[in-house]
């Protein structure tokens, strides 16, 4: 009986003790289960982080078990943390609905949500990749939701294909021929938009990066001052480069971009780029992964989703997808290191956030 009592006590305390140990040590274990404050593996896939008033908020896709989890049954989950290690479950920031006429009906696809704060409107603005229910990945739309408080609830606003009727800043006259390019084919209806991220520059201008043109070319599109719509100027980032999963960051005045190739849920080699101006031109820096050939070929089993500034450096965030049991997807967080002027990522079984607190 006493033994039973002790075992039950241990079981009850285990997640908390684990979390406290992690907090004390400040370590991250890429690919491991990552318990939240209730001891439940964090459910925020394809996510991104907003830092607001000294607190980090991690938004991501809430997945359910099995391959059904690849569609949205719950919505966008949000967690909060002051130390990036211990995460409090703040619930569902944006919920799917049961109205079959709604874009975000249960069973639609809601992917790669990102949230930014607009200081002028004092609104939290969420963008995500939306696929309408029952149409596979054909819709390729961007969707927007908005909230007055960071953890929500977020109110769904609308979805669209961005930049209808607008040419990219850097398209040649010859490529404005619909017989030649997808960007011209989609000129009237708006550009396809799948994998995406958001980025706020030092001057407060925000940008939406999305995989467009049948996933062959990423676009970067400036947002209006309220961050709710495309502002009308956008550029093709890496024409016909076959990049997706964009994650962008700024370091010493330059812009860096990490992407993946196009193999769905299966991992492939990551790619990296640098630019002096946010609209490019972008220069390829090669595969940022340093390690074994296997690690370079599959990016440690993961795919980029976000890069978070931290301390004097940056954290690379990726997803190790588990498409057959989506809820079991894991998080690949690694420090960005520098090999001369190139951002590089090495594997660590565990690593300490302190490594990013010293000058890079
Ligand atoms: C990946 C993409 C994911 C998801 C998946 C669906 O390439 O990065 O966000 O869309 O394809 O197969």
Is residue 345 within 8 A of residue 288, CB to CB? The reply is: yes
User: HSE-up of 191 (CA within 13 Å, CB side)?
Assistant: 33
Please give the distance, rounded to the nearest whole angstrom, from the Cα atom of residue 122 to the centre of ligand 1: 32
- Candidates 284, 293, 344; CA nearest to 314 is 344
Residue 2 pLDDT: 46
Confidence of residue 79 (pLDDT cuts 50, 70, 90): very high
Please give the distance, rounded to the nearest whole angstrom, from the Cα atom of residue 137 to the centre of ligand 1: 9
Instruction: Assess whether the C-beta atom of 71 lies below 6 angstroms from ligand 1.
Output: no
Answer yes or no: is pLDDT of 34 > 50.
yes
Instruction: Name the strand (E) or helix (H) holding 58.
Output: strand 55-61
Residue 336 CB neighbour total at 10 angstroms: 24
Return the SS3 of 344: strand
Instruction: Assess whether the C-beta atom of 335 lies below 6 angstroms from ligand 1.
Output: no
Instruction: Assess whether the C-beta atom of 264 lies below 6 angstroms from ligand 1.
Output: yes
Instruction: Assess whether the C-beta atom of 303 lies below 6 angstroms from ligand 1.
Output: yes
Confidence of residue 9 (pLDDT cuts 50, 70, 90): very low
Distances (CA, A) of 307 to 42, 52, 343: 18, 16, 11
**Entry pTM:** 0.93
| Section 136-161 average pLDDT | 98
Which amino acid residue places its CA nearest to atom 2 of ligand 1?
A: 264
Please give the distance, rounded to the nearest whole angstrom, from the Cα atom of residue 38 to the centre of ligand 1: 29
Mean per-residue pLDDT over the chain, rounded: 94
Which amino acid residue places its CA nearest to atom 12 of ligand 1?
A: 264
Please give the distance, rounded to the nearest whole angstrom, from the Cα atom of residue 296 to the centre of ligand 1: 19
Answer yes or no: is pLDDT of 13 > 90.
no
Segment 109-146, tens digit of pLDDT: 999 999 999 999 999 999 999 999 999 999 999 999 99
- Candidates 67, 71, 25; CA nearest to 326 is 67
**Angle CA 256–258–182, to nearest 5:** 105
Answer yes or no: is pLDDT of 251 > 90.
yes
Instruction: Assess whether the C-beta atom of 243 lies below 6 angstroms from ligand 1.
Output: no
Ligand 1 mutation target, pool 265, 271, 301, most atoms within 8 A of CB:
265
Which amino acid residue places its CA nearest to atom 1 of ligand 1?
A: 264
| Section 246-266 average pLDDT | 98
Answer yes or no: is pLDDT of 12 > 90.
no
Segment 184-234, tens digit of pLDDT: 999 999 999 999 999 999 999 999 999 999 999 999 999 999 999 999 999
Please give the distance, rounded to the nearest whole angstrom, from the Cα atom of residue 121 to the centre of ligand 1: 32
Query: 3-state secondary structure string, 183-211?
Result: HHHCCCCCCCCCCEEEEECCCCCEEEEEE
**Angle CA 53–57–58, to nearest 5:** 160
Confidence of residue 358 (pLDDT cuts 50, 70, 90): confident
Answer yes or no: is pLDDT of 5 > 90.
no
**End-to-end alpha-carbon separation of the chain, Å?**
55
Please give the distance, rounded to the nearest whole angstrom, from the Cα atom of residue 307 to the centre of ligand 1: 18
Please give the distance, rounded to the nearest whole angstrom, from the Cα atom of residue 111 to the centre of ligand 1: 8
Which amino acid residue places its CA nearest to atom 9 of ligand 1?
A: 195
Answer yes or no: is pLDDT of 317 > 50.
yes
Instruction: Assess whether the C-beta atom of 323 lies below 6 angstroms from ligand 1.
Output: no
Residue partners of 54: CB distance under 8 A and separation at least 6: 82
Please give the distance, rounded to the nearest whole angstrom, from the Cα atom of residue 250 to the centre of ligand 1: 25
Instruction: Assess whether the C-beta atom of 245 lies below 6 angstroms from ligand 1.
Output: yes
Check residue 15 and report its DSSP letter: H
Please give the distance, rounded to the nearest whole angstrom, from the Cα atom of residue 264 to the centre of ligand 1: 5
Query: 3-state secondary structure string, 250-262?
Result: EECCEEEEEEECC
Query: What is the strand order of the sheet 283-286 is part of?
Result: 244-251, 254-260, 271-275, 283-286
Distance CA 205, CA 83 (A): 27
Instruction: Assess whether the C-beta atom of 112 lies below 6 angstroms from ligand 1.
Output: yes
Helices in the chain by DSSP H: which ranges? Answer: 2-25, 182-185, 293-298
- Candidates 14, 28, 147, 149; CA nearest to 87 is 28
Instruction: Assess whether the C-beta atom of 18 lies below 6 angstroms from ligand 1.
Output: no
């Amino acid at each position: 009986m006493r033994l039973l009592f002790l075992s039950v006590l241990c079981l009850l305390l285990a997640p908390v003790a684990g979390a406290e140990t992690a907090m004390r040590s400040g370590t991250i274990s890429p690919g491991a289960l990552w318990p939240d404050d209730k001891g439940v593996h964090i459910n925020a896939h394809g996510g991104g982080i907003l830092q607001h008033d000294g607190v980090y908020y991690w938004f991501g896709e809430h997945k359910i078990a099995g391959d059904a989890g690849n569609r949205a049954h719950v919505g966008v989950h949000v967690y909060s943390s002051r130390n990036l290690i211990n995460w409090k479950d703040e619930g569902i920031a944006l919920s799917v609905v049961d109205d079959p006429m709604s874009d975000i009906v249960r069973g639609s696809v809601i992917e790669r949500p990102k949230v930014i704060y607009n200081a002028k409107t004092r609104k939290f603005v969420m963008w995500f990749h939306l696929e309408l229910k029952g149409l596979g990945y054909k819709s390729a739309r961007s969707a927007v939701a908005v909230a007055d408080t960071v953890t929500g609830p977020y109110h769904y606003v609308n979805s669209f294909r961005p930049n209808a009727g607008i040419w990219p800043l850097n398209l040649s006259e010859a490529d404005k021929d619909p017989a030649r390019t997808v960007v011209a084919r989609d000129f009237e209806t708006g550009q396809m938009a799948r994998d995406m991220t958001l980025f706020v520059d030092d001057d407060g201008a925000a940008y939406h990066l999305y995989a467009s043109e049948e996933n062959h070319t990423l676009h970067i599109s400036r947002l209006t001052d309220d961050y709710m719509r495309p502002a009308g100027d956008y550029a093709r980032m890496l024409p016909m480069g076959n990049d997706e999963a964009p994650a962008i960051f700024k370091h010493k005045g330059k812009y860096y971009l990490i992407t993946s190739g196009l193999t769905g849920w299966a991992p492939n080699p990551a790619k990296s780029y640098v630019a002096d101006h946010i609209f490019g031109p972008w220069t390829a820096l090669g595969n940022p992964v340093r390690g074994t050939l296997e690690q370079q070929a599959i990016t440690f089993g993961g795919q980029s989703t976000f890069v978070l500034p931290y301390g004097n450096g940056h954290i690379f965030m990726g997803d190790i997808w588990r498409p057959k049991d989506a809820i079991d997807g894991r998080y690949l967080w690694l420090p960005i290191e520098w090999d001369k002027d190139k951002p590089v990522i090495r594997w660590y079984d565990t690593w300490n956030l302190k490594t990013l607190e010293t000058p890079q």
